[in-house]
Structure 1
């Protein structure tokens, strides 16, 4: 599921569309008629949603005020566009509240818009469908100051199942929502979701299918002190709704890759699909010379996706251990301490010194500590055993080595 296209990602999407222009036919047949909420024939005056942007409509069970809450922002609407909202594409978009209260505290309902439309065909049981739409939060100080993870999508078998509660909220546990609050009121945000059909779903309805009490909200502009009235609205505009049968593509990149110091590796997409790297290049391969995070963006059906691979710097030098075979711990300051020598970084380390009888005379887990047996051990031959674990090509690698040590005067 992809959400929250910031300014940089929006620019990447625009470039993707320029480089790889994909008409809707490439995505598959859109099962939403008029998913762009385009106006019909502009026979003004037009107030009803179905007159402006058919087959989208409101349901009478939600009351007369639905027509006032749901606005089609297009040249064909008689409603005043006091917010100055513009469609993402084309000439039409919808706007409606998904949280809050009406202007008067005397009204016993919560503010919800529920635009509804039939699908072009019923959904097939067990088939996975991709849902894509673009939303933008609306911010107006004083009443539209909150954001939430909405609007969501609900599929219905028929409109007879619509049964709003006493607050005119259509509550349902079957609705799909964006995973995170959508708080960007400057740029459009794409929402992508997957839905596996139960079978015979015929209608789609948009909105928030939770009560105010069960809807988490946050302020769209935390730096500005809230001055909201009793409305406390979350209000969104929505455009370019697409629903298609779709099997998601596998990721284009592995989650991680490895690079040796002063080396170069080539990142390659699995299936050479068209897309764009974060440096602006558009080939299926990319040469990198340093560790870091790299991204590749592409269209999967109607949804813009970004895969991320993390290139980790790893050690590529084998660990060579040198074990001296003699030393003379006589206190003269020369060759008094016996210690293994190696250049790698030990993740785990153990050194054992045993005599000919197998008795441990020295043990250490500190790579910087050596054996100084002055006054503790007699002359003769001992056996040193070292076990070391270090990182090689990103894997924990074990090294074991032993040698005889002659303790001299």
Structure 2
């Protein structure tokens, strides 16, 4: 089923791309071979010049009746500049695979990807982002919540973030499925690969069962997956790459130690760095800090920095007024690239009732954003009634 869907999507992009002088490809769950019933299909289209494209994306948009197609388009913009604007664009370009379409545009995508692979500082920052955003978001999602099987500490999202971090550190394994990358990591760190895969598949099956319950209105019981192998594997991986991250990311030692403590439960011995990157430092501080004044200061300094805003939105200690400012500044609430941040705000326990109601009234709201905001709102009402 996945291979047939993948082939259909790619063939449509190829035909449309050759006809309209653009190139594109797929990234996300379909390319990792882990797509589920409620997964989106993530597509990137690169259109080198605005006047080279006279059609629309309807042929691509209507490929699947069972999956939402999210198309991210880079039009008449340098693709490298596009990738470095925010995390969604970066992921779309960096993790894009099976690139098809007009040959010059295809070559431009491949050339940009090679540049990104060589940018160690950007890759190091993104590793910190994917791991911290998973941990911050998971702290707001409990076992039994809607979509816990995706977003909680026992959900599939932690496996995906580990896979992404591994591919960011080791670009040679880009394009491999989740299972293939897990085997690579298990063998690299001498962990039982069969048990790692078994634990991953149990998480994926729990998510599929929960999604079936949501789609069918059923209430089949779901066992909480065990955590016998993810934590040891992730710990070995993070301990291995922390020196490389510190060498390339430029973060103060104490903040990186606190980061390792939040992820692993222990503060690693980390060497100091020669220079500090303020943007990456703010992003990581936004993850580790519980201090309201510090989080407010970072928000003021970095309100247009996607990476910092993403981490602030996932931090359960971020004040409600900061979450509101992040969501509504520059009308970002309706932009595709800021959907991730909107989801984090919808799940954050500090988000105000007024902000949640505003999210619920957003036109064309994604189902998972609606569910998160509604669940958060219902929890607040339950607490108020007690």
Using CA pairs under 8 Å that are at least 6 residues apart, name the structure with larger relative contact order, 1 or 2. Answer: 1
**TM-score normalized by the length of structure 2:** 0.22
Query: Per residue, is there more strand in 1 or in 2?
Result: 1
TM-score normalised by structure 1 residue count: 0.21
More helix by share: 2
Q: Rg: which structure is higher?
A: 1
